């Protein structure tokens, strides 16, 4: 192992574009450096006369913030492509964020010209793993990718967003930022958008994301409409089914029926009488639960 003492300010950070360095992680490393000192060396590689930082971006940022003039680095001999691979291989235990994996795979394939099989071999993954990340990257909004808006999202949010048109992805991320939704709430918001039954429900999500997420949290079942809680959603579905059945009955009645005997006529008449009694009764019971006057505005 070739160790060297260097000024953290002199390290080349060109590969930082492939890594996320959240402020929270920098603060953690800062506290660790204060209390314990540097426990392990940063990994660097010499390239075109510079020491390129390969692993330890949060520690480097913390060291600079603390005003340290010297840190220990491990100098490893790597090609430009191997340096990128080491970003992944040196962090397998903790794991990279999904969007980091996608960004890395895309650069190795498109910028460095490697085949999917070559990338899979280099990262010690299956070809299908590489293929999925390339497909995911291509499904995401280029604008959101370029401004880093997806970096803090959970993997579930990123996957679900990729299934939507780019304009919808941008709408939802903008709402999440505007209303300060956390990663978990953003995931719920995206899922509600995908299951929303109509444009009005989607508009409600854009205007009242917190309320929609809270209703979803209160439900033990997946909801299709963010404007309804669990019980109201079940009641709404019952009314929809009842109306659909009524429309089918109308169409069939207008088409006529075969000639009925006395028993058949009595059976059908009884069903009509029960429907006339119970369906209006059901509608009145539901209406009784609804707010009136200013409460409903």
Looking at residue 222, its pLDDT comes to 53
Alpha carbon distances (Å) from 41 to 10, 75, 76, 248: 15, 9, 12, 73
Q: What pLDDT is attached to residue 193?
A: 92
pLDDT score recorded for residue 92: 84
Looking at domain 1-94, does it have CATH number 3.90.1530.10? Answer: yes
pLDDT at 31: 94
**Please, what is the average pLDDT of the chain?**
89
* Cα–Cα distance for residue pair 145/103, rounded to 1 Å: 9
CATH code for the part of the protein at 97-139: 1.10.10
Q: What is the pLDDT of residues 195-233, one digit of tens each?
A: 888 898 899 999 999 988 888 777 645 555 667 777 787
Residue 121: φ, ψ to 5°: -65, -40
pLDDT in tens, 78-98: 999 999 999 999 998 878 899
> What pLDDT shows up at residue 79?
95
137, 119 Cβ separation under 8 angstroms: no
pLDDT at 297 over 50: no
- Only one residue has tokens 């990128």, namely 84
pLDDT at 257: 84
User: Would you state the pLDDT for residue 234?
Assistant: 78
- SS3 string, the chain, reads CEEEEECHHHCECHHHHHCCCCHHHHHHHHHHHHHHCCCCCEEEEEECCEEEEEECHHHHHHHHHCCCCCEEEEECCCCHHHHHHHHHHCCCCCCCCHHHHHHHHHHHHHHCCCCHHHHHHHHCCCHHHHHHHHHHHHHCCHHHHHCCCCCCCCHHHHHHHCCCCHHHHHHHHHHHHHCCCCHHHHHHHHHHHHHCCCHHHHHHHHHCHHHHHHHHHHCCCCCCCCCCCHHHHHHHHHHHHHHHHHHHHHHHHHCCCCCCCHHHHHHHHHHHHHHHHHHHHHHHHHHHHCCCHHHHC
pTM of the entire predicted model: 0.69
**CA–CA distance, 143 with 171 (Å, rounded to integer):** 12
CATH 1.10.10 in the chain, residue ranges? 97-139
Kindly report, residue by residue over 162-171, the tens digit of the pLDDT. 999 999 999 9
pLDDT of res. 281:
83
Domain span(s) for CATH 3.90.1530.10 in the chain:
1-94
Q: Which two tokens stand for residue 149?
A: 């808006």
Residue with tokens 């069939």: 252
The two structure tokens encoding residue 10: 């002199």
- The predicted pLDDT at position 293 comes to 57
Q: What is the pLDDT of residue 220?
A: 47
pLDDT of 192 > 70? The answer is yes
């Amino acid at each position: 192992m070739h160790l060297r003492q260097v000024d953290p300010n002199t390290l080349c950070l060109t590969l930082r574009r492939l890594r996320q360095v959240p402020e929270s992680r920098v603060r953690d490393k800062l506290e660790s450096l204060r209390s314990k000192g540097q426990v392990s060396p940063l990994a660097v590689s010499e390239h075109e006369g510079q020491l390129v930082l390969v692993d330890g971006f949060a520690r480097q940022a913390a060291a600079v913030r603390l005003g340290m003039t010297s840190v220990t680095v491990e100098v490893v001999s790597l090609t430009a492509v191997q340096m990128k691979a080491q970003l992944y291989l040196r962090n397998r235990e903790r794991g990279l964020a999904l969007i980091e994996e996608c960004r890395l795979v895309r650069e190795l394939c498109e910028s460095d010209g490697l085949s999917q099989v070559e990338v899979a071999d280099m990262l010690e993954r299956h070809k299908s793993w590489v293929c999925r990340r390339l497909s995911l990257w291509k499904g995401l909004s280029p604008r959101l990718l370029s401004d880093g808006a997806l970096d803090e999202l959970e993997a579930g949010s990123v996957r679900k967003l990729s299934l939507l048109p780019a304009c919808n992805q941008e709408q939802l991320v903008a709402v999440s930022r505007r209303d300060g939704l956390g990663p978990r709430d953003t995931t719920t918001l995206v899922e509600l958008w995908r299951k929303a039954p109509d444009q009005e429900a989607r508009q409600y999500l854009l205007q009242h994301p917190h309320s929609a997420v809270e209703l979803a949290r209160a439900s033990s079942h997946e909801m299709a409409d963010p404007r309804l809680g669990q019980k109201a959603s079940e009641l709404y579905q019952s009314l929809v089914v009842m109306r659909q059945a009524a429309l089918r009955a109308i169409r069939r009645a207008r088409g006529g029926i075969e000639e009925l005997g006395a028993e058949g006529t009595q059976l059908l008449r009884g069903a009509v009488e029960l429907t006339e009694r119970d369906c209006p009764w059901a509608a009145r019971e539901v209406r009784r639960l609804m707010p009136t006057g200013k409460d409903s505005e």
